[in-house]
Structure 1
Amino acid sequence: MSYPTSAFAAGLPWAGGAVLLVLAVTFVVARIAGKHSVIDTAWGLLFVAVAVATFVHSDGYGCTPRRWLLLVLPLLWGLRLAWHIGRRTVGKPEDPRYEKLLAKAKGNPDLYALRNVYLLQGVLAFLIAAPIHVGAYEAGPLGVVGWLGVAVWLLGVAFEAIGDAQLQRFRDDPANKGRIMDVGLWRYTRHPNYFGDACVWWGIFLVTASDWPGVLTIPAPILMTLLLTKGSGARILEAHMAGRPGWAEYAARTSGFFPLPPKRP
């Protein structure tokens, strides 16, 4: 069966509209809360919106198990991430990253944030969600590659959720104030949550890559991985942590991304 290109193309505006709706609501909430770091909570919700809109529009097309997976996998990941970030940041002031960014604004800082934060993240989410856009209309069976993708997604969610929970418990203990988190999953990688995030999107890609033309969406997980390692993820966080006592020793013995046994002194 040939790929329904017309239906796929017709579904893209629906997915884009869903992203814009989430961004608009987030911007209003941010204005009310007085901080633009609210967009961090909405990051996962952007993918939830794409998954729901694409699932609805692709009704009558594609492989049913794949369609459901491309709805459920982003939905569970996005809602968990939004809940975690929202719970962690509620009641706190503006994130220093956004304060530094908005200090560059010439003119209205809200419009500057809308253009350079909200719309930028919306475009990135829309591009990274390419496996969802494409895979929902693929008619071929999942096969081994598709189920391997589910396994990789499960690994990613586990790493991300466990790493976040371990870090939160560490921070909640007053005895750890000023210390570097180096236990649990954080003993094997400096960023278990980012590694898990990357696995989630490589897993979703594999679900789509099990049929043609899903393999062509490989730039999406590559882009997500680059964002996590070289973009706004690990690079900025490590620059922020570099001055803390014990960080240099921790970084020297601990893998930067892929989980590996700690290096001996």
Structure 2
Amino acid sequence: MIDNDVSQTIASLAGGLGAIVAFMAFGLTLAQRQKKLTVVDTLWGLGFILVALVSAVISLGGDGDRALPWILLAMVTVWGGRLAWHLHRRNSQAAEDPRYKDLAEADGRPFAQVALMRVFLPQGVAMFLVATPLMVGGNNTEISVPLLVLGLLVWLLGFLFESVGDAQLAQFKKDPDNQGKIMDQGLWRYTRHPNYFGDACVWTGIWVVVAGSLPGLITVISPIAMTIFLTRVTGASLNEKGMKKTKPGYDDYVRRTSGFIPLPPRG
């Protein structure tokens, strides 16, 4: 239905890759100065905004729909900006995240090598895969209105799940009486990771918006990679490993609560 100009797509992919490499190099330098790997969490959302902006500018030289790249930029900016601000407020004055601390200590190599090989390089690769709809789909020659509406609805569901889940957890942690307790209220009653589920929906929605072309359709690797990254790599798996060590009763919470997709509690 919709064709992409091959040379324009290659230019967008090259520009996006260059932006990611430069941004991750900046993040690595910042982490080394602060001796803190947690800074990558704040940079994660901002990196996608940069890729979307670079891709939108490059798209001006092609024959693609003029509005679509900027719609994608707006979707990513709202998501990435909120996420970056939330994580910055949470992490800026806190000690190193236990997940990254354990990673650095267990590796045994110098901090700079751990930061590069175990954090920034893998996250740079993940960012490139996840950002493919921004780089490829932004060159679609026209917008599919049904896919745009569906994609925006899926994106909105994900954005609400992530932002509401984060707000509920932050409010829970503010109460001194909840120290050491497990958050199992609100959205956290139905999934152990509403924020991660929301992230996956956000990128599924972005992919749906661009899926009206064959190249855009192929970028389904984006929500797949994001979901794997969140559930199997540095997201839920590392988080739950730490929670089981520090939160009494967490195994029972795991037993009764869905790990990812929101479902009614068991038992």
Contact conserved, 2:55 with 2:138, CA < 8 A, in 1?
A: yes
Contact conserved, 1:141 with 1:211, CA < 8 A, in 2?
A: no
- 1:131 matched to 2:105: no
Task: Measure the CA separation in 2 of the matches of 1:178 and 1:239.
Answer: 16
Task: Measure the CA separation in 1 of the matches of 2:261 and 2:78.
Answer: 23
Which residue identity lines up with residue 255 of structure 2 in the other structure?
Answer: A
Task: Measure the CA separation in 2 of the matches of 1:231 and 1:23.
Answer: 18
- Three-state SS of the structure 1 residue aligned to 2:233 is coil
In the alignment, which residue of structure 1 is the partner of 2:212? 210
Query: Post-superposition shift, 1:103?
Result: 2.7
Q: CA RMSD in A?
A: 1.6
Query: Post-superposition shift, 1:17?
Result: 1.7
Query: Post-superposition shift, 1:92?
Result: 1.8
- Three-state SS of the structure 1 residue aligned to 2:239 is helix
In the alignment, which residue of structure 2 is the partner of 1:239? 241
Unaligned residue ranges in structure 2 (runs of 5+): none
Contact conserved, 1:190 with 1:257, CA < 8 A, in 2?
A: yes
Alignment match of 2:263 (pick from 249, 252, 260): 260
Task: Measure the CA separation in 1 of the matches of 2:114 and 2:181.
Answer: 36
Structure 1 stretch 96-105 or stretch 29-38: which is displaced more?
A: 96-105
Task: Measure the CA separation in 2 of the matches of 1:189 and 1:160.
Answer: 12
Which residue identity lines up with residue 252 of structure 2 in the other structure?
Answer: E
In the alignment, which residue of structure 2 is the partner of 1:250? 253
The aligned runs of 1:180-199 (5 Å cut-off) are 180-199=182-201
Query: Post-superposition shift, 1:105?
Result: 4.5
Contact conserved, 1:22 with 1:45, CA < 8 A, in 2?
A: no
In the alignment, which residue of structure 1 is the partner of 2:231? 229
In the alignment, which residue of structure 2 is the partner of 1:36? 37
Structure 1 residues 211-247: Cα deviation after superposition (integer angstroms, max 9, x where no partner): 3321111122111111112221111211211242221
Alignment match of 2:178 (pick from 162, 176, 179): 176
- Three-state SS of the structure 1 residue aligned to 2:264 is coil
- Three-state SS of the structure 1 residue aligned to 2:182 is coil
1:183–1:145: structure 2 CA closer, same or farther, 3 Å change rule?
A: same
Contact conserved, 2:16 with 2:55, CA < 8 A, in 1?
A: yes
Query: Post-superposition shift, 1:166?
Result: 0.3
Task: Measure the CA separation in 2 of the matches of 1:223 and 1:186.
Answer: 23
Contact conserved, 2:32 with 2:111, CA < 8 A, in 1?
A: no
In the alignment, which residue of structure 1 is the partner of 2:103? 101
Contact conserved, 1:188 with 1:262, CA < 8 A, in 2?
A: yes
Task: Measure the CA separation in 1 of the matches of 2:65 and 2:108.
Answer: 49
In the alignment, which residue of structure 2 is the partner of 1:7? 8
Structure 1 residues 30-72: Cα deviation after superposition (integer angstroms, max 9, x where no partner): 2232212111111111111110100010014322332222111
Task: Measure the CA separation in 2 of the matches of 1:117 and 1:216.
Answer: 27
Contact conserved, 1:255 with 1:262, CA < 8 A, in 2?
A: yes
1:74–1:259: structure 2 CA closer, same or farther, 3 Å change rule?
A: same
Identity across aligned pairs (percent)? Answer: 46
Structure 1 stretch 117-126 or stretch 106-115: which is displaced more?
A: 106-115
Count the aligned residue pairs: 264
Unaligned residue ranges in structure 1 (runs of 5+): none
Contact conserved, 1:62 with 1:138, CA < 8 A, in 2?
A: yes
Task: Measure the CA separation in 1 of the matches of 2:99 and 2:200.
Answer: 22
In the alignment, which residue of structure 1 is the partner of 2:22? 21
Which residue identity lines up with residue 223 of structure 2 in the other structure?
Answer: P
Task: Measure the CA separation in 2 of the matches of 1:212 and 1:65.
Answer: 19
